[in-house]
Structure 1
Amino acid sequence: MSTNTAVTAPVTDSPNRTVPAGWQAAPYTLVFVLFFLIPLGLVLMVSFWDFNEYELIPAFTVRNYLAIFEGCSALTDHGDFCVTLSTYLSTLKFSFLVWLITLVLGFAVAYFLAFHVRSSGMQTALFVLCTVPFWTSNVIRMISWVPLLGRNGLVNQGLQGIGLIDQPIEWLLFSDFSVVLAFVHLYTMFMIVPIFNSMMRIDRSLLEAASDAGASAWQTLWNVIVPLCKTGILIGSIFVITIVMGDFVTIGVMGGQQIASVGKIIQVQTSYLQFPLAAANAVILLAVVLMIIWGLTRLVDIRKEL
């Protein structure tokens, strides 16, 4: 008599144990706190400190903010704004001009790469070509304009050589023109990249449908491509505006140290060890930039578009 016995291995329940979401986000939160919130908090704290020629005095005061806006309650005798408002208006002027020019150039370049270059290899090659200026430092790229735009530079000599001008053009260098030109040269790439990324995500069948419906190229561009690229336009705009608002090196070099900006004022104040005053200016600049970003994000809900 034989009996068949079946031996079965016990089944053990081994659920997949995952790390809680809070712990997964902890390293990123730590980096955010250490490198953003704490430095920002320190700047805000120092902006309310007092100081003299020799030391910082950790005593609460609003003297720094009052000093920044001193005399801004009314126009001067010549009808001008105070120094602070004039400096902010100048900085906003540069930001607007650079944003507008980089938007037009960045959109045109991204449009050409996305819709007129069929080969992905050629797209990559041309895109890398756009990044060539970033292979050198910003200072070198700015200085390269000096022998071109100077009084005895290549541009003036060329125009005089063909008889278009009799005297060198003075405003080509160390002027608002040269500052805007350098900004556009330096930061157009920050507009190209996000717009190009948005264009590459557009379903090409939408363009074909617009064409089949009788839309012209301009109608397709304005009614189809631009609305679908608004996320890239917004991201590029935030990059360009925030960088230009805080820049002081470009304005100092290309403006011949003669054009004021908020970033330049902060740099000068720190060089004279007026850290609380510089911190107050930095807080005000941050508030202005955040208001601009808030206004831009009201136009496009970036969280829904991404």
Structure 2
Amino acid sequence: MTGVAGPPGGIRRVGVVGCGTMGSGIAVLCGRAGLDVVVVASGPAAVPAGRARLTGSLERAVSRGTLTGAERDATLGRLEFTADLDALADRDLVVESIREDEEQKAELFVALDKVVRSPRAVLASNTSSLPVTRLAMVTGRPERVVGTHFFNPVSALPLVELTGTLLTGEDTLRRMTEFVEVALGKTPIRTPDRSGFVVNALLIPYLLSAVRMVEYGVATAEVIDQGMTLGCSHPLGPLRLADLIGLDVVTAIAESLHREFREAQYAPPARLLRMVEAGLLGRKSGRGFYAYP
């Protein structure tokens, strides 16, 4: 007798905490994959904005012709929005995607550990820089905690950094690899549990070097970006890329790397710190190294 294959990794019900750029992207990805998704916003007032962000993303996909109206409606039907963490009790996987603040993420993992009932449920962090062990150790299930670092925009970029700690079970990593590959259609790479993992450990010093060149008057942002796009075939120059990521996010990752490795290449330049303090965060605020009317 032939059995019917279950969902990839045994994961059918997904929770996403946070519905900013990354959280909403992950939620849409899971919804389009046919999964039952609960999205938890930071508070009741954030629920309508989160729903609007996800709906807007799906509408843009329809306008581009990459999604039909029927598929949009079906995806929205799989998404539930709430501000109540208790709605995650029956989830097979919960992905945390709140701001890159270790204390806030740790507090959330303590709460998720109490709320999520299934002993096999996986708790994942979309952290782009923080060591996952620190989050795993505040829970009673460190063997079920992983890092799943998606990239922006989630719908377009195929990579997911999958990070296990010294305590993560091999079964958890196997299930998550299958889930990322089969259910989500992404390419996972196993990365070490160190600040920045692989991609940001390479990328952030490059972005910071470009900021320093602007700060020291070596070249303008436009010249630097032209140099890297036209001379090195990069799709985006480093400063436009920093604006896309968010200068606050770049700063947070740099500070995490600098705390862990104490190397000068990871220290955020004063120019970058002042821009963040002034609210010049890049594309999402309308102005960074470039203006976005």
Q: Is the radius of gyration larger for structure 1 or structure 2?
A: 1
Relative to its length, the structure with more strand (as a share) is 2
TM-score, structure 2 as length reference: 0.24
Relative to its length, the structure with more helix (as a share) is 1
Q: Which structure exhibits the higher relative contact order, with contacts defined as CA atoms closer than 8 Å and separated by 6 or more residues?
A: 1
TM-score, structure 1 as length reference: 0.23
